[in-house]
């Protein structure tokens, strides 16, 4: 899960302040997983959460992933002296702000959806909350 093509290979780090304006409502499913803290979510964390949800659902229902890792993170090699420019792209991350709906579910009962989202929240690097359509919006 990474962008196929990018206009610029390297980006500035940016700041993680403020709340999420877009993507803060449930648009597709009945239940969602909402971020409560700002954080970078890596492509591996997103995939781990997706696998956890689909395994718990036993292929029943439908899952929507509402975040995409499109922000490149660079890193200098170990034991490199200062200077010599910006490092190579190490990984891609999704910038998640508080209030962002990261995953949505449909086709499960509320108790089962709650357990599936709780397991997915354990894979995320920030505090998350289980939300229903029409609640907290």
Identify the helix (H) or strand (E) that includes residue 128: strand 128-132
Provide the whole-model pTM: 0.89
CATH of the domain at 68: 3.90.1170.10
Cα-Cα-Cα-Cα dihedral sign, residues 133, 135, 136, 137? positive
Residue 4 domain flag: no
Say how far residue 93 (Cα) sits from the centre of its chain. 8
Q: With contact defined as beta carbons under 8 Å apart, do 23 and 68 qualify?
A: no
Residue 7 domain flag: no
**Domain, as residue range, for 66:** 31-77+84-132
Say how far residue 21 (Cα) sits from the centre of its chain. 15
For residue 74, give the nearest of 92, 57, 61 by alpha carbon: 92
Residue 2 domain flag: no
**Blockwise average pLDDT, block size 10, the chain, 137 residues:** 89 90 91 95 95 90 94 93 92 94 93 94 95 77
What confidence score (pLDDT) does residue 53 get? 94
Q: With contact defined as beta carbons under 8 Å apart, do 86 and 10 qualify?
A: yes
What confidence score (pLDDT) does residue 76 get? 92
Residue 19 domain flag: no
Residue 72 domain flag: yes
Residue 113 domain flag: yes
**Alpha-helix residue ranges (DSSP H) falling in 15-121:** 43-57, 110-121
For residue 29, give the nearest of 63, 52, 56 by alpha carbon: 63
Residue 42 domain flag: yes
Residue 1 domain flag: no
Please give the tally of structural domains in the chain: 1
């Amino acid at each position: 899960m990474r962008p196929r093509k990018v206009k610029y290979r390297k980006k500035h780090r940016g700041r993680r302040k403020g709340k999420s304006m877009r993507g803060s409502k449930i648009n597709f499913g009945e239940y969602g997983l909402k971020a409560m803290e700002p954080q970078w979510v890596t492509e591996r964390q997103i995939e781990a959460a997706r696998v956890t949800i689909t395994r718990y659902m036993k292929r029943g229902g439908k899952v929507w992933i509402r975040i995409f890792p499109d922000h490149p993170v660079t890193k200098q090699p170990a034991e490199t002296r200062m200077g010599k420019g910006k490092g190579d792209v190490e990984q891609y991350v999704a910038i998640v702000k508080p209030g962002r709906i990261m995953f949505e579910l449909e086709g499960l009962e509320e108790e089962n959806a709650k357990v599936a989202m709780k397991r997915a929240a354990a894979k995320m690097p920030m505090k998350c909350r289980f939300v229903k359509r029409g609640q907290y919006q």
